[in-house]
Structure 1
Amino acid sequence: MAKQFDHLSDVLTRFIEAQHIFFVGTAATEGKVNISPKGMDSLRVLGPNRIAWRNLTGSGNETAGHLAQINRMTLMWCGFEAKPMILRTYGSARTLHPRDADFAELNALFPPSDAARQIYDLAIDIVQTSCGYAVPFMDYAGDRDVLKKWAEDKGPDGIAAYWETRNRQTIDGAPTHILDPQEG
């Protein structure tokens, strides 16, 4: 049975910190709904109603484009290894780009990476748990280093060029504001 809370408890925070993967969901008023798996060392619980996660450069940039239109986000974790549970946080998020004043402070919470594209500062409205009884057991074998190596090979100039050609719009053609806060 699902239970709702107005904040993350210490128990739920420890659950989040023990997970190796989470999922982010966003949607604009029209177009595709986006659900993305996230891993690596990219998430910090900053308080009972605040989470920051750093988005590294990737093939799409849907979250930024969706949040520019409708500021709502859901994060979800599943207990794959031990306790069967699904945890969701619902809220609104500030999108911070490297050009923004608060970006450096939050980015310092994570390991250095030239691939850091945005940080999402989520203000949690509702926390929900559910049973997760149908979630399979899965063993964690380790993080992949492919994205880290890709970013190192590209370097800052190559990543900026990638943003220009691959990350300026969502798959529905909405601006992501990756390079210019006024674009679109």
Structure 2
Amino acid sequence: MSLRRRARRIAAVLALLLGAGALAGCFSSPRLVASLPADESWLVLPVQDWAADERGRPEGVAACLVDDCPDRLMVSVLNLRGEAADEARAVLADPRRLVAYLETRDREDENEARRAVTTRAATRPIRAGGLAGFVVTLAGEGGPTPRAAYGATLARDQGGELRLALVVGDDEAAVEAAVRQVAAEAL
């Protein structure tokens, strides 16, 4: 499979997770992601029935998006298998693949409004204990309001399955702290 196709699949998985975070306000479930505080600020998606067994499954997805949240975060723990795990391993080994995909997508976008906004992406590796991952910074330039979003992931390879913690938010330090905490308790 080509690098570009793999990067698209990884971006699709990340987009799905971001979309899930955005939908979190519409659902509620009693199961929290490990290490999150059990208060009403966290909205939890009912992921038990999500069917993607051949690629993997979410263990938990939650978001804290209300005004009284100390940090606006989407947190998830995923178990990936097969091709999805292989694709994620490739990006974990070289996060520049994600950056290259985003840059190519911007250049090739046919929508003028979106093309006017350039996404600047940068990654840096992180480690916690025996876990490896990265932090990604996404900043839009050229739009009406400059914004940045941050994502972080840490993963544990368990034979045929890859378990990972993924956190997305608007504060880099909070995102990194949260991924370290969730990974320590859930992975």
* TM-score for both structures, normalised by structure 2: 0.26
Bigger fraction of residues in helix: 2
Of structures 1 and 2, the one scoring higher in RCO (CA 8 A, sep 6+) is 1
